[in-house]
Amino acid sequence: MEISFEKEIQQLRLGTGDTFHGEGILAITKALLESGVAYIGGYQGAPVSHLLDVMVQAKDLVGELGVHVEACSNEASAAAMLGASIHYPLRGAVTWKSIVGTNVAADALANLSSPGVTGGVLMVIGEDYGEGASVVQERTHAYAMKSGMILLDPRPDLQNMVDMVKHAFAMSEASNMPAMMELRIRACHLRGSFVCSDNRKPAISAQSPLAEPAGFDYGRLAHPPSTFRHEKLKVEQRMPAARDYLVAHQLNELRDGRHAHIGIIVQGGVSPALLRALQEFGVADAFGHSDVPLLILNVTYPLAHAQIADFAAGKEALLVVEEGSPEYIEHEISSVLRRSGLSTALHGKDMMPATGELNPEAMLQGLAQFFEQHLTAVDVAPVRSQLQATLARRQQLAALLQRAPTAPAPSTAAPALPARPPGFCIGCPERPVFSALKQVQAEVGPLHIAADIGCHSFATFEPFSMGHSILGYGMSLASRAGVSPMMQRRVVSIMGDGGFWHNGLLTGVQSALFNRDDAVLLIFKNGYTSATGTQDIISTPGKQHKHSALDKTASLTASDRTIEDTLAGIGVQWLRTVHSYRVSTMRRVLREALTTDFRGLKVIVAEGECQLERQRRIRPWLEALLARNERVVRVKYGVDDDVCNGDHACMRLSGCPTLTLKDNPDPLKVDPVATVNDGCVGCGLCGENAHAATLCPSFYRAEVIRNPRWRERVVDALRRVALRMLRPA
Ligand code: SF4
Ligand code: SF4
């Protein structure tokens, strides 16, 4: 990874009384160090990647504190790390993106939660839910319930989040339950400040190691018959201890309001949105004061039943504001009310949206309904007309965006706004491979394509629209196992190098070899786990290679054969490595894999460095060359307006955002012509496609030379003279 986190690391060094200013996820990282963690691990993923990225670079700081940092190969290995806290009074923290990461970690989490922990354990979970999310929409809450783990959902305020990290460790130790803290996208990126404490060196650490291991204790193994006792401990001791802690330390926030006959119980993470929505009704202010009593749950599991019953007592109605489905919190509160004999009316998902992010606008409708029934003193008409006006404005905008000048007027139903999907970076090495895959399908027929998680999943969008399923990270080859025997043509499975190491090697390759499956696997070897922020993996070439000036223009991926050696070592017999940008070669090799008589696993490694990381790597090098007035060549592709016939076949094979359209300069032609704008990084795909697919000869390759040599200046001058002479007078 080429990004430096030097500034962030300085923030982590702040001491008692200093004020930290920065992002939520960095504040959490600082809080871990202030809590005396002995080890930190995890697997990157938005929105929590920053935590691990910073810690991996903060080698000096963690070395001084004796904290062990591990960049784990997947979430299961991160969760398994927490096993250190079963026997030893070691505080540990791990991080990953949920729900997908928690799914991967689930086995280890169940086996951790069963014996319980001695040292406090905290999982910092990026709850990738709602607007901007990139994974399946489910709730981490289910895991807390099923395995018996604490779940914190702190109100997004940096001081509160930091305090909750410290309480999470203490609560975990008081109850022997592992704790999870879910942080939504906005909480991670929220900026604010808090007053720091000194970082705490752990008593047992890499600097002060344990002299002896713990004694053997069968009761701490997640094995029968211990597991039967563990189940009882969870219910009879651990949950009550966790509840006692959260009540004694007032982790949930009770806010009184003058409309005492009603109340709202809300997850801490969505409480700012609720307060903003309440402002619209005039029952809250911008400083968080509410006329409606609130119970803000910084801890959403376990719930303190007595606290819920106390809050509900004497109230006519409660509203539970809970994001996502199923409504676990509401169900539990319903049981509490029933068992407490309270007749308080309970509302939640009957009024609030069942799915999607609870932003203030999403809450207005539900709050209006709640107030109409239980707070008639509030006039909801202005909010209702505001909602109507917003809906009408949306419909109008959607109609304007969708309607061509000659199209009929839109119907009253709001059409969807045009989607703005993400796409490959300019010059991405994965785009040419999909160009080749598109071309080979024109020869052999349509293929079933098992897609995967990673940048290559951008090929599911136009102009490629490839991929029939995505079953999990690194799962493409495994997901094809039930499909390929039923297909006349071979199925192609797509996997990135990140996915290969995360899961694909075992679940896919090993299984396909063991079962002697006739399968085709296409691995993108771009050198990093690019989709999560270009973190290094085991097959990332060494740093000394990356920083050698001589290697700046070379392909980094070519220097590492770990994937190929692993495949050969495990028994893959049909293995080809092809440079990603060689479209003709890739097309030929794909055709061979799809039609060869060889029955068994065929693996094509598409080799080409992630362009994003390459640009980061070479930019400072080029800037340094220019500063020394040295020669720098930039390759750029272009389209000859006179030759382009305007059929846009090049765009349907590329999708590069810098290959775009412009008005046809020929007044006798109406079709817009293709053009390459200044963003082109000269990856060469335009030329490769024009050659491989026998497109028109309108593409040209140009070299923009800064600080040219004298010979080049002379040649340039001569060319200009010749051009002037050829030009008609
Ligand atoms: S981050 Fe790298 S691999 Fe991902 S789309 Fe961009 S260039 Fe391609
Ligand atoms: S050569 Fe073509 S595909 Fe490559 S960056 Fe330039 S315009 Fe995009």
Give per-residue pLDDT as tens, 674-702. 999 999 999 999 999 998 988 888 999 99
**What phi and psi, each to the nearest 5 degrees, are found at residue 22?**
165, -160
* For ligand 1, mutation pick of 2, 434, 528, 530 (most atoms within 8 Å of CB): 530
d(CA 124, CA 339): 33
Q: Is the pLDDT of residue 548 over 50?
A: no
* For ligand 1, mutation pick of 457, 610, 656 (most atoms within 8 Å of CB): 610
Q: Is the pLDDT of residue 411 over 60?
A: no
User: Is ligand 2 within 6 A of the CB of residue 20?
Assistant: no
Question: Please, are residues 295 and 265 in contact by the beta-carbon 8 Å criterion?
Answer: yes
**Which of 36-50, 362-376, 667-681 is modeled with the greatest confidence?**
362-376
User: Is ligand 2 within 6 A of the CB of residue 611?
Assistant: no
Helix (H, G, I), strand (E, B) or coil at 87: helix
Q: What is the pLDDT of residue 415?
A: 55
Q: Is the pLDDT of residue 645 over 60?
A: yes
Task: Tally DSSP H helices, then E strands, for the chain.
Answer: 28, 26
Q: Are strands 699-706 and 632-639 parallel, antiparallel or unpaired?
A: antiparallel
Closest CA to 364 of 393, 348, 346, 387: 387
User: Is ligand 2 within 6 A of the CB of residue 656?
Assistant: yes
* For ligand 2, mutation pick of 580, 685, 689 (most atoms within 8 Å of CB): 685
Percent of the chain scored above 90 by pLDDT? 87
Ligand 2 atom having least distance to the Cα of 686 = 2
Mean pLDDT of 440-454: 97
Assign 549 a pLDDT band (cuts: 50, 70, 90): very low
Query: How many other β-carbons are positioned within 10 Å of the β-carbon of residue 595?
Result: 13
Q: What is the pLDDT of residues 215-258, one digit of tens each?
A: 999 999 999 999 999 999 999 999 999 999 999 999 999 999 99
Average pLDDT, the chain: 93
User: Is ligand 2 within 6 A of the CB of residue 674?
Assistant: no
Question: Residue written as tokens 């000859």?
Answer: 640
d(CA 243, CA 235): 11
d(CA 527, CA 505): 16
Q: Is the pLDDT of residue 410 over 60?
A: no
> Per mean pLDDT, which range of 114-118, 143-147, 406-410 is the poorest?
406-410
Query: How many other β-carbons are positioned within 10 Å of the β-carbon of residue 390?
Result: 12
Radius of gyration of the chain (CA): 30
Q: What is the pLDDT of residue 414?
A: 53
Q: What is the pLDDT of residue 231?
A: 98
For residue 333, is the peptide bond before it cis, meaning its omega torsion is within 30 degrees of 0?
no
Residue nearest to atom 5 of ligand 1 (CA): 424
Q: What is the pLDDT of residue 670?
A: 86
**Which of 227-236, 393-402, 631-640 is modeled with the greatest confidence?**
227-236
Q: What is the pLDDT of residue 550?
A: 38
Q: What is the pLDDT of residue 547?
A: 42
d(CA 322, CA 354): 9
* For ligand 2, mutation pick of 658, 699, 704 (most atoms within 8 Å of CB): 658
Mean pLDDT of 359-369: 96
d(CA 330, CA 321): 8
Measure 435 CA to ligand 1 centroid, in angstroms: 15
Residues in contact with 284: Cβ distance below 8 Å, sequence separation at least 6, in sequence order: 275, 278, 290, 291, 292
Closest CA to 506 of 561, 570, 453, 456: 570
Mean pLDDT of 570-585: 97
User: Is ligand 2 within 6 A of the CB of residue 658?
Assistant: yes
Residue nearest to atom 4 of ligand 2 (CA): 683
Closest CA to 117 of 146, 76, 79: 79
More confident residue, 544 or 277: 277
Torsion of CA 286, 289, 295, 299, to 10 degrees: 50
d(CA 685, CA 490): 26
Q: What is the pLDDT of residue 394?
A: 86
Mean pLDDT of 503-517: 97
d(CA 193, CA 104): 34
Q: What is the pLDDT of residues 60-97, one digit of tens each?
A: 999 999 999 999 999 999 999 999 999 999 999 999 99
d(CA 303, CA 319): 16
User: Is ligand 1 within 6 A of the CB of residue 426?
Assistant: no
User: Is ligand 1 within 6 A of the CB of residue 530?
Assistant: yes
d(CA 435, CA 689): 7
Q: Is the pLDDT of residue 572 over 70?
A: yes
Q: Is the pLDDT of residue 458 over 50?
A: yes
C-alpha separations of 579 from 449, 520, 552, 559, 620 in Å: 21, 18, 17, 12, 25
d(CA 684, CA 153): 48
Q: Is the pLDDT of residue 209 over 60?
A: yes
427-464 CB burial, b ≥16 within 10 A, e <16? bbbbbbbbbbbbbbbeeeeebbbbbbbbbbbbbbbebb
Assign 556 a pLDDT band (cuts: 50, 70, 90): low
